[in-house]
């Protein structure tokens, strides 16, 4: 249910927060609107309704706040609280203002919104400045400025509205009497300044400029600027004349016009009493009057004003006063509640982290186990593939060896058959040759015509035998013949015959019989072949040819 309301509030913000932010910004910069009509002081609420005094407005705002909370409209409820805190602040009832302000902080925790966070941080910084808590004040003012800068960067706000944030620094450094730093942020205001809806009025920037001029030795310029600003503030913000007359009196004090200085201090006090605004500023005015009377030697008047200043200061800023005695309790209550919430959030986060750590550990264990299991499967799978590949390679190598062995055996068998066939041819030729010779020798016993006929049928032709042998040898030893021809292209036909016969392991005698030459001619032919093959003396011709 909590998440549902958070989502609902976020949706409401999208169309309400624009108006709320602009309205609240002006409220913070200017305070609750006060209008002097026919010499009569009254207040306006956000609806434009008039109230004769701030007490009536406080009652109305509290009533409206309760109604909005009953309706569940948290965002508008925070808006009303911020108005209420502003009214209390102008009455110098800071304890009540802080009380209301911390209530808005509790409600703001339910609505996560940058504009609202910036608004509250801004207001908190200004409250700390009233108590001269410079470190805390600047911390929250910077926080508000950084939020607004991010909104501008993301396109959710016009850069012109940064003027309101920079102006908060100008006012704060004026209160801390640091004109150089106030001047720095005033320059930033002027850089981003442009006329947009609910923009800070330029006279307020000129008022801060007049203060800075008075603090940097430009008293005449400051005095002239205060004179020019007086009509605007009298018409539009008469209660702001408390500040204008005070710093105007400071300028007159600087130039030595002491009597007129006192008059403007008294005018500032009268304006505060008349409009019941900036009451907390009056102790500073009485301190200025005290210093003035001390310079004049009127110690009685100085004592009276100093006493008033101390009483007012204790009333507005002393934590022991009736106005502020509950302030520390309020802050401690908020701090305790926030700490309780933080502790609860931390505990929830711790439990969530523990649960996430357990889940993460379980996931890591499962992941690790899965990885180990996959690695084991991969190991056995790859080992199986490797063994299978190894066996396949062995089988292929064995088959190849068998094929080579079979081819060699077949080649050797064919070469043997070829050699036997050649020898048979040689023997046939020799037989026919002998027969031919015998027939010639016995031609007396046979008729001549029969002898001639028989001789013509007996053909002894070594060339035909060799050609038949070459064809058969080439068919059987095709690789050998191609390699021999390619590697030694200068070999003759006779050299090829000798190489073929050596390949078939023919002896010199058989080679002589086949070639029809003497054994000595065979030796000569072998010698010449060695030279053509460029063999060394130690190399064996038969082994060399067998390796081709």
Name every residue whose Cβ is closer than 8 Å to that of residue 20 and which is 6 or more positions away in sequence: 75, 76, 79, 115, 116
The CA–CA distances, whole Å, from 505 to 468, 508, 525 equal 19, 9, 16
Question: For 444-472, how does the pLDDT look when each residue is reduced to its tens digit (9 = 90+)?
Answer: 565 666 666 655 655 545 556 667 677 77
Instruction: Tell whether pTM > 0.75.
Output: no
- Distance (Å) of CA 77 to CA 63, 93, 103, 147: 11, 21, 10, 22
Residue 438 has pLDDT above 80, yes or no: no
Mean pLDDT, the chain, integer? 75
Residues belonging to the chain: 548
The winner for highest mean pLDDT among 224-228, 462-466, 478-482 is 224-228
- The radius of gyration of the chain's CA atoms, rounded to the nearest angstrom, is 61
CA 391 to chain centre: 53
Is a pLDDT exceeding 70 seen at residue 423? no
d(CA 422, CA 425): 5
Task: Report the percent of the chain where pLDDT is more than 90.
Answer: 15
Tell the burial category of 85 from Cβ atoms under 10 Å away from its Cβ (0-12, 13-18, 19+): buried
- What CA dihedral angle connects 2, 102, 163 and 241, to 10 degrees? 150
pLDDT tens, 85-130? 777 766 667 667 777 767 777 777 666 777 777 887 888 788 778 7
| 267: CB partners within 8 A, 6+ apart | 241, 245
- Residue 43, classed as helix, strand or coil, is strand
Check the CA dihedral 69-74-79-84 and report its sign.
Answer: positive
Residue scoring higher pLDDT (505 or 366): 366
Split at pLDDT 50, 70, 90, the class of 141 is very high
The answer on pLDDT for 162 being more than 70 is yes
Tokens for 427, please give them: 């023997």
| pLDDT class of 409 with cuts at 50, 70, 90 | low
Show the tokens assigned to 234: 């009298």
Per-residue pLDDT band for 500 (boundaries 50, 70, 90) equals confident
Q: Is the dihedral of CA 508, 509, 513, 517 positive or negative?
A: positive
pLDDT at 40 over 50: no
Which tokens sit at 4? 């549902």
Q: Per residue in 379-398, pLDDT tens?
A: 999 888 888 888 888 888 88
Could you tell me how many helices (H) and strands (E) the chain has, helices first?
22, 3
């Amino acid at each position: 249910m909590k998440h549902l309301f958070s989502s609902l509030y976020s949706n409401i913000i999208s169309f309400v927060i624009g108006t709320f932010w602009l309205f609240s910004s002006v409220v913070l910069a200017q305070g609750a609107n006060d209008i002097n009509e026919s010499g009569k002081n009254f207040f306006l609420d956000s609806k434009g309704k008039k109230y004769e005094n701030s007490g009536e407005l406080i009652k109305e705002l509290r009533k409206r706040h309760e109604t909005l909370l009953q309706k569940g409209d948290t965002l508008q409820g925070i808006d009303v609280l911020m108005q209420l805190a502003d009214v209390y602040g102008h009455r110098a009832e800071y304890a009540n203002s802080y009380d209301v302000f911390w209530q808005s902080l509790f409600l703001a925790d339910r609505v996560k919104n940058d504009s609202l966070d910036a608004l509250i941080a801004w207001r908190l910084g200004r409250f700390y400045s009233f108590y001269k808590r410079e470190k805390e004040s600047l911390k929250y003012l910077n926080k508000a400025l950084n939020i607004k800068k991010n909104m501008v960067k993301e396109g959710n706000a016009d850069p012109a509205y940064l003027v309101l944030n920079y102006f908060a620094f100008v006012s704060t450094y004026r209160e801390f009497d640091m004109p150089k730093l106030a001047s720095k942020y005033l320059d930033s205001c002027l850089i981003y300044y442009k006329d947009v809806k609910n923009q800070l009025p330029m006279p307020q920037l000129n008022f801060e400029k007049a203060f800075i001029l008075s603090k940097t030795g430009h008293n005449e310029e400051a005095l002239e600027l205060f004179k020019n600003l007086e009509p605007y503030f009298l018409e539009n913000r008469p209660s702001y004349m408390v500040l204008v007359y005070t710093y105007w009196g400071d300028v007159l004090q600087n130039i030595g016009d002491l009597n007129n200085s006192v008059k403007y201090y008294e005018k500032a006090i009268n304006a505060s009493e008349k409009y019941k605004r900036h009451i907390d500023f009056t102790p500073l005015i009485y301190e200025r009057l005290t210093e003035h009377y001390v310079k004049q030697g009127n110690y009685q008047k100085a004592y009276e004003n100093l006493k008033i200043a101390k009483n007012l200061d204790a009333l507005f800023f002393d934590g022991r006063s009736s106005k502020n005695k509950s302030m520390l309790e309020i802050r401690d209550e908020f701090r305790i509640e926030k700490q309780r919430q933080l502790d609860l959030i931390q505990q929830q986060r711790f439990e969530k982290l523990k649960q996430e750590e357990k889940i993460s550990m379980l996931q890591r264990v499962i992941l690790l186990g899965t990885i180990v299991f996959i690695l084991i499967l991969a190991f056995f799978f790859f080992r199986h593939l490797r063994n299978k590949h190894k066996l396949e390679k062995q089988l292929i190598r064995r088959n190849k060896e068998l094929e080579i062995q079979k081819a060699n055996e077949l080649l050797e068998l064919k070469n043997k058959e070829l050699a036997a066939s050649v020898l048979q041819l040689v023997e046939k030729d020799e037989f026919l040759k002998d027969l031919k010779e015998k027939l010639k020798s016995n031609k007396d016993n046979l008729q001549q015509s029969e002898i001639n006929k028989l001789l013509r049928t007996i053909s002894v032709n070594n060339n035909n035998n060799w050609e038949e042998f070459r064809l058969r040898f080439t068919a059987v030893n095709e690789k050998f013949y191609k390699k021999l021809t390619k590697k030694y292209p200068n070999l003759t036909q006779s050299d090829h015959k000798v190489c073929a016969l050596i390949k078939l392991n023919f002896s010199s005698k058989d080679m002589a019989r086949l070639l029809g030459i003497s054994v000595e001619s065979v030796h000569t032919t072998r010698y010449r072949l060695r030279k053509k093959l460029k063999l060394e003396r130690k190399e064996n011709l038969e082994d060399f040819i067998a390796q081709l």
